[in-house]
Structure 1
Amino acid sequence: MRPDDLALLRVPGVPTVSPDGRMAVVAVARTDPGDDAERSRLWAVPTDGSAPARPLTPGPRDTDPVFSPDGRWLAYRGAGPGGRPQLYLLPTAGGAPRRLTDTPLGTGRPVWSPDARRLAFTARVPQVDRSGVDRAAQPPWLVTTLRWQANGVGVVTDRYSHVFVLDLPADGEDDGPLPRPRQVTDGAADDADVTWSPDGAELAFVSARHARADRDLVRDVYAVPAGGGTLRRVTDGRARCARPTYDPSGDWIWLTARLELGRDGVDVVGRGATLCRVRATGGTPEPVLAPAVTDRGDATPATVLAGGAAHLGVRSHGAVELLRVPLEGGSPEALVDGPFTVHGLAAAGGVVVATVGHDRSAGELIAVTPGRRRLLTGFGRALGATGRLHRSQERTATAPDGTEVHGWVTLPPGPGPHPVLLCLSDPLRRPEGWSLSVDAQVLVSAGYAVVRCAPRGSSGHGQAHARAVRAAGGTVDADDVVAFLDAVLTDPALDPERVGVMGTGYGGWLATLLTGRTTRFAAAVLDGALTDPAGLVGTSDVGWWFVDQYLGADPPTPAADSTTPTLVVHGEDDRRYPAGQGTRRYVELKRRGVSAELLLFPGEGSELGRTGRPRHRQARLEHLLRWWARWLPVTLEDDLPVEVVDAGALPPDDGGREPLTVRATRLD
């Protein structure tokens, strides 16, 4: 894979399924390098595989489709170039979509009422007009809380997210003024994950509105009358709740929750998000799947109930499996398992549709019916046809204390030995596994063997494995990484004398520590990395609790005498691991005379490598290849893949052939 292959990448989102189960609709995102923009449109996909997927909307940014309960309408979010996402309504029988909202900061995903006459959604409500181009002329922010900013959003103290209800226009009314949504919650708290009760009289949502909400990580389920009124708390203030859904009876609310957060409500380290239920009248969330071995890993924005069962994706040793859990009890059934990642799902009409990816696929839709799984789409066909995607090999190793360490090695063509790049992702936010890694594919195509692993702290290996780094980050997890690297370097296809390290986010913290311990690495890349725990406390959106919980009161200190050449990459607007983390490390290295470079991307946050502007994402990959070509060059002996760019034509075979002249160029 090359940096410019980003233009071929197609990423399907969370699907929706019509009530009769016959049609799925999904948003598919792609990059547009020409306009330097992310594009997304909706595609209709028959669930019986009788016809190929077809585009349903033109875009340019259409997302989050949801069928109405009667199947007559499709609601979704749409946005024009540079605009905020608004709600749109599309008749499924044919016709043009109609815009329903004009909220100043955009809307969240639409949620249908049971009678298909109303939509609920969340939207940020600005208290101060900050829409002007001249940011310096805006009024100041008065901050009085610890939770005053959010990664990917910015300062939130004067624009909290609240619940709205929108009454839809009568049938046939496709013109006239936009309907006016009704705000049903308010206050100094963010509301999310709204859902309807079966009778349509009540809305449930999650929020942090308790007395200690500014000092803990508890989020409760609340309920409010659909017409507005007094809120009531459903859960008991001891869990971090998300994605509530009423069951058909209305007696229970099913949700995902991280339980047992400790006396101070911040002990979330390694706490798996498990399937729970709570009485709709109020109570304590009851785990349905064992928290010690369960961690939800799909991106579906609700808990999906259908056919008497809950459906969800659960992390397992680098995979995200699709489970069916009977509501009345009984053993869960794995509908999708093996080396796959379930990104999102929907269920209706006796069929479950899921977006499923693996190490060479960003995702395709599959339909699951009793006894059968059917592949429905081929969105990744163009990228796959390049032949530049590579399989990963699963490996295991043993840490010094006997713990098994799980990981993957991805090799370029040829016998090697190949130069090696140890790539450490952010295991606390996005564990490595069976999903497409653009970084890994680009680096392998350039001739490098890429080594990835899941050290302690990663989810999907049980709660004990994930909680081993509580107040001990940078110790046992760093030991796991070294043990795994040493084990795989015994493979003759890998060159133990030519090794580099690259770390993203918390993986960058591990890379920082490792380069201070050893000189074995030819060079390093720190990508949006944590490098300075003390500086994180007052600058990150999670800094007020993250350092204490993961690294402890006395975190390890990176060695001051590191001599490893280092490229520091950072998004200027990163609020998770702010840019000051990277710039301080860069200056420290330069002052000591270490070869170092700083690559700073304006306007980008912590998801630069995944969702940054297309030209920035491509430039980042090109700089990575340039850096590694300088410090860890691929040689001709590495069987570097070549591409024929010009060849003389052979004359007819008359008994004497002319020599074939070929020019070749490095893929990077």
Structure 2
Amino acid sequence: MANERPITIDDLLTVGSVGNPQVSPDGRWVAYTVSSRDFDEDKRRTQIWMVSTDGGEPIPMTSSDYSASSPRWSPDNKYLSFSASKGEGAKNQVWNLNRLGGEAEQVTSVKQGISGFEWSPDGSRLLLIIQDPKPADLTEDKDDDKKPLPHVIDRMQFKRDYVGYLDRRRMHIYTYTPGEKNPRQVTFGDYDDSDPVWSPDGKSVAFVSDRSEDPDLHWGTDIWIVNVDDPDSGITQVTTNEGRDDSPAWSPDGRSIAYRTATGFDVGGSALTPTRYLASTVVGRDERKILTPDLDRNIADPQYSANGKKIVFKLEDSGQVHFASVDKDGRSLVRNLEQQVNVRDFATGGGKTVLLLSRSDRPMEIYQFDDGTLDQLTHVSDKTLNGVARADVEKLQFESADGTPVEAFYYRPLDFDSAKRYPTILWLHGGPASQFTYGFSPTAQLFAANGYVVIMPNPRGSVGYGEAFAKGTVAKWGERDVEDVMAAVDYGIDLGLVDADRLGVGGWSYGGILTNFVITQTDRFKAAMSGASLGLTTANYGHDHYQLMYELEFGLPWEFPERWVKLSPFSKVQDITTSTLWMGGALDWNVPIINSEQMYIGMKRLGRDTQLVVYPNEHHGIRRPSFERDRLERWLVWFDDRLK
């Protein structure tokens, strides 16, 4: 480390982000995406590459002049397909690259564009996900495409961040044979359809949909099957669980479907999130068999092995995401990779398995996996991070105020000296149904490179520690979770790492919300950064996109007004003495900017040290590269000025 320099904001913004690995049918190649920042255009772009499973130099498959995503191999290994919007005002379409060479050729010409696609098993046609068209999509007049029209609303769920006001244009499934004029619609109705998967014989598609009386007031989804050659015959309901069933995967013989199932309210990301189990059912029987009944941990993305004997999946567990498997009958659970990593994705093909994973000192890269060993195939971050020091991190366990075991990741600053105590930033994750992991944390690495101890706890409300732990904050935000994160700070003090007189706290989304609950209950922190957080909770009812979650967790505001007041950090804004930086996107309908405005104006009126930064045309996440840079710079200045 002596000859390495500290990581910088430039480093973090220059590193490309690897995603969406896809193994070719012959197992010889892996296609994947790399997203990077174009600082001249001030936007992000995504490019498709491929690399041999034998290793070697990766090959760019699409130009850096436009963004391309969703790489997919045709079953005959002839084409590498992808989706892209090529040209000004163009809609997202499917494109084919012939493996023998030549330019990409456009395959679909859907007026409103496509949202997803998959090849049929025999390669003769495509499955498409298409949203119902707007009236302007059906005309040849291009001038009416941008003409503003009033939003006419009659739904309970009428907003969605990054989308805007919702109407009744739904996502449906189509099939398309290349060369034909139009795709053929196979699902219908006032419902959204997602997660479509071809059956092995190519005659049917399994998909996920909430077809209850009013999906906006329902918390479940089921798995359905449609015969794509005879959609008029109707659809077949495969599962009837009251909770959420999703992520269907066919067995190779087409007789069974493995899927993810939840056994209660499942309002994604909220404290109401139940354990999501691995399940399977025989097609036509609706006999759910939970394959992991004693595993009180979330699974994701199940997939049958090529011989149908095992099911592989991702497994959240105690600050890690494992690549795991069970026999098809649920026996012999195995964590296939016993390393301190975070597995984001995996793919199989041609007898090969690849994992997309990150480590605490390395961003996401693709590795070939074989019987517990890893062979790194991509090295996207090497160009930027070679010669750059990265902080050491350790996951530790301690007891909270009520004796509950809690874990946190502790990052030590570069050139750490055990004889010294350091200024410390308590950094809190969003969700709350999320977890910090052994994955690469740009934020923690940046703070550590600038001389801070960084504590990243998984308090009550986090996933990876069982359903009771995850539900420890239901309608009790700012109670046990505050105790847990403060216990993480006190443990750092006991270890001799933390300078108790130089404490900072921050986070984004629920991390910002929890920050608000912390600084309204203690004056121990000298500086705080609260991003996309909560102020007066009642003001969000009908304004953000969480209407069903509020009703299920808090009750209706006119029926439980005292509870809504208690769950509002704004109710205690007068108790904040911590210097606080408020931040958010002007168009955020996830946690709207009105919350940060309320908290800021309360502190400003009280004469406290505070500042509000609003990013124009940004939503819940900050995506414009210049704004990403601005945010990181402001974080460092805010904490440095008050903690050093």
The alignment's TM-score, normalised by the length of structure 1, stands at 0.87
Separation in structure 1 between the aligned mates of residue 312 and residue 495 of structure 2, nearest angstrom: 40
Is contact 1:75–1:110 with CA below 8 Å preserved after alignment?
no
Q: Determine the structure 1 residue equivalent to 2:95.
A: 88
**Among candidates 224, 227, 231, match of residue 226 of structure 2:** 224
Aligned residue number for residue 11 of structure 1: 17
Aligned match for 2:573, one of 552, 555, 560: 560
Deviations 1:171-205 (A, max 9, x none): xxxxxxx8422222232222111111122111121
Q: Which structure 2 residue ranges, 5 or more long, are not aligned?
A: 1-6
Aligned to 2:53, which of 43, 47, 50?
47
Deviations 1:574-599 (A, max 9, x none): 12111112111111211221222111
State how far apart, in whole Å, the 1-side matches of 2:144 and 2:519 are.
Answer: 42
Most deviating of 538-547 and 524-533: 538-547
Amino acid in structure 2 at the alignment position of 1:616: F
1:77 matches 2:76: no
Q: Does 1:588 align with 2:610?
A: no
Q: Name the counterpart of 2:319.
A: 318
Counterpart for residue 74 of structure 2: 68
SS in 1 for 2:133: coil
Q: How far apart, in 2, do the equivalents of 1:52 and 1:224 lie?
A: 42
- Aligned partners of 1:508 and 1:531 also within 8 Å: no
Counterpart of 2:292 in structure 1: which amino acid? L
Equivalent residue number for residue 636 of structure 2: 625
Matched, 1:24 2:25: no
Residues 373-427 of structure 1, C-alpha deviation per residue, up to 9 Å, x if partnerless? 3221211102321414323121221011111110111121232422111111114
Q: Is the 8 A contact 2:433 2:461 kept in 1?
A: no
Q: 1:206 aligns with which of 205, 208, 211?
A: 208
Cα deviation, residue 371, structure 1: 5.5
Q: Distance in 2 between matches of 1:358 and 1:382?
A: 17
Q: For residues 580-620 of structure 1, give each alpha carbon's deviation from its aligned partner in whole angstroms, at most 9, with x where no partner exists.
A: 12111111211221222111111211122xxx111111111
Q: Deviations over 1:14-72 (max 9, x none)?
A: 211112222111111111212112122112122233x2322222243121112222222
Q: Which residue of 2 aligns with 1:98?
A: 105
> Which residue identity does 2:205 align to in structure 1?
L
Residue 404 of structure 2: aligned partner: 403
Find the partner of 1:168 among 167, 175, 178.
178
2:186 matched to which residue of 1?
184
Give matches, 1:480-499, under 5 Å.
Answer: 480-499=484-503
Partner of 2:297: 294
Matched-pair contact (CA < 8 Å) for 1:470–1:551: no
Aligned pair count reads 617
Structure 1 unaligned blocks of 5 or more: 170-177, 634-668
Give the TM-score normalised by structure 2: 0.90
Aligned to 1:516: 520
Equivalent residue runs for 1:105-120 within 5 Å: 105-120=112-127
In the TM superposition, residue 342 of structure 1 has moved relative to its aligned partner by 0.7
- CA distance in 2: counterparts of 1:333 and 1:571, whole angstroms: 42
Check the 8 A contact 1:145/1:214 in 2, yes or no. Answer: yes
* 2:281 alignment counterpart: 278
The partner residue of 2:436 within 432, 439, 443 is 432
Shift of 1:79: 2.9
Q: Which residue of 2 aligns with 1:331?
A: 332
| Cα shift at 1:466 | 0.9
What residue is the counterpart of 1:306 in the other structure? 306
Match of 2:237 among 224, 233, 236: 233
Q: Which moved more, 1:153-162 or 1:335-344?
A: 153-162
The CA distance in 1 between the partners of 2:221 and 2:510, in whole Å, is: 24
Amino acid at match of 1:506: Y
Aligned residue in 2 for 1:463 = 467
Which stretches of structure 1, 4 residues or longer, exceed 4 Å deviation after superposition?
A: 81-84, 130-137, 264-268, 550-553
AA partner of residue 209 (structure 2) = S
Aligned to 1:129: 136
Query: Identity over aligned residues, as a percent?
Result: 26
Local SS of the residue matching 1:336: coil
Seen in structure 2, the aligned counterparts of structure 1 residues 154 and 21 have a Cα distance that, compared at 3 Å, is same
State which drifts further: 349-358 or 283-292: 283-292
Distance 1:443 1:68, change over 3 A: same
- Deviation string 1:75-104 (CA, Å, 9 cap, x unpaired) is 211234765432111223333221122445
Change in CA separation of 1:141 and 1:342 when aligned onto 2, cut-off 3 Å: same
Residue 573 of structure 2 aligns with an amino acid whose one-letter code is A
**1:35 is matched with which residue?**
41
For 1:112 and 1:323, the matched residues in 2 are separated by: 27
Question: Bigger shift: 350-359 or 539-548?
Answer: 539-548
The change in CA–CA distance for 1:547 and 1:526 in structure 2 (over 3 A counts) is farther
Instruction: Report the Cα distance in structure 2 between the residues aligned to 1:525 and 1:257, rounded to whole angstroms.
Output: 37
Instruction: From the superposition, tell whether residues 207 and 275 of structure 1 become closer, same or farther in structure 2 (CA, over 3 Å).
Output: same
Amino acid at match of 1:581: N
Indicate the larger mover: 152-161 or 437-446.
152-161
SS in 2 for 1:435: coil
1:153 and 1:601 map into 2 onto residues whose CA distance is 18
| Local SS of the residue matching 1:500 | strand
Distance change in 2, residues 1:337/1:310 (3 Å): same
| Displacement after TM superposition at 1:266 (Å) | 12
Classify the secondary structure of the residue corresponding to 1:400.
Answer: coil
The separation in 1 between residues aligned to 2:588 and 2:361, in whole angstroms, is 28
Residues 502 and 162 from structure 1, CA distance in 2 versus in 1: closer, same or farther, beyond 3 angstroms?
same
Tell me whether 1:153 sits opposite 2:163 in the alignment.
Answer: yes
- Give CA deviations for 1:180-231 in whole Å, capped at 9, x if unaligned: 2222223222211111112211112111111142212111112222143222
Residue in 2 that maps onto 1:57: 62
After superposition, the Cα gap between the structure-2 partners of 1:132 and 1:535, relative to the gap in structure 1 and judged at 3 Å, is farther
C-alpha RMSD of the superposition: 2.6
For the residues of structure 1 that align with 2:641 and 2:269, how far apart are their CA atoms? 44
Distance 2:577 2:182 in 1: 61
Q: 2 CA distance for matches of 1:24 and 1:136?
A: 39
Q: Deviations 1:103-125 (Å, cap 9, x if unpaired)?
A: 45542332111111111121222
